[in-house]
């Protein structure tokens, strides 16, 4: 999908330094519903970045996320359809390895992903 939300077959993004693009760990959205904001994983930790596809030249938002505590632990991270949050499961402080539902508020005005907020810790997602 092109930055203007139309489909095309040209390459619009290459990870910095030729890094390999990695999985987000599941089937959650990697684009918001409008196609403007995109979550992508590449490079060393923290490896999850948010980009505004209408301004790729500005680079990723500040506040990259460590994928080792979610994706590498068998879970995932995605973006909500409204583009206001990244969501996933985090295993850094979970009881009995169940994971905790986690969200990160996106501050588009300041191009920053916020600190993690745990919102669910019952039974995990496994």
> For the chain, what are the domain ranges?
21-120
- The pTM assigned to this predicted structure is 0.84
* 21-22 vs 112-120, strand pairing mode: unpaired
Distance in angstroms (rounded) separating the CA atoms of residues 106 and 110: 9
Distance in angstroms (rounded) separating the CA atoms of residues 46 and 22: 12
Question: Across the strands, what pairs with 52?
Answer: 37
CB 42 within 8 A of CB 22: yes
Per-residue exposure over 41-52, b if at least 16 CB sit within 10 Å of its own CB, e if not: bbbeeebbbbbb
To the nearest whole number, what is the mean pLDDT of the chain?
86
> Which residue would you say has higher pLDDT here, 108 or 69?
108
What confidence tens digit (pLDDT) does each residue in 53-77 have?
Answer: 999 999 999 999 999 888 887 788 9
């Amino acid at each position: 999908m092109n930055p203007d939300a139309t489909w095309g077959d040209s390459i619009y993004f290459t990870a910095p330094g030729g890094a390999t693009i990695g999985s987000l760990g599941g089937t959650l959205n990697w684009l918001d519903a409008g196609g403007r904001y995109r979550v992508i994983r590449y490079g060393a930790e923290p490896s999850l970045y948010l980009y505004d596809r209408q301004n790729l030249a500005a680079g990723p938002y500040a506040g990259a996320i460590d994928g080792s505590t979610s994706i590498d632990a068998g879970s995932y991270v995605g973006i909500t359809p409204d583009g206001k949050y990244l969501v996933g499961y985090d295993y850094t402080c979970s009881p009995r390895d169940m994971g905790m539902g986690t969200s990160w508020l996106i501050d588009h005005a300041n191009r920053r992903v916020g600190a993690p907020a745990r919102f669910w810790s019952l039974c995990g997602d496994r």
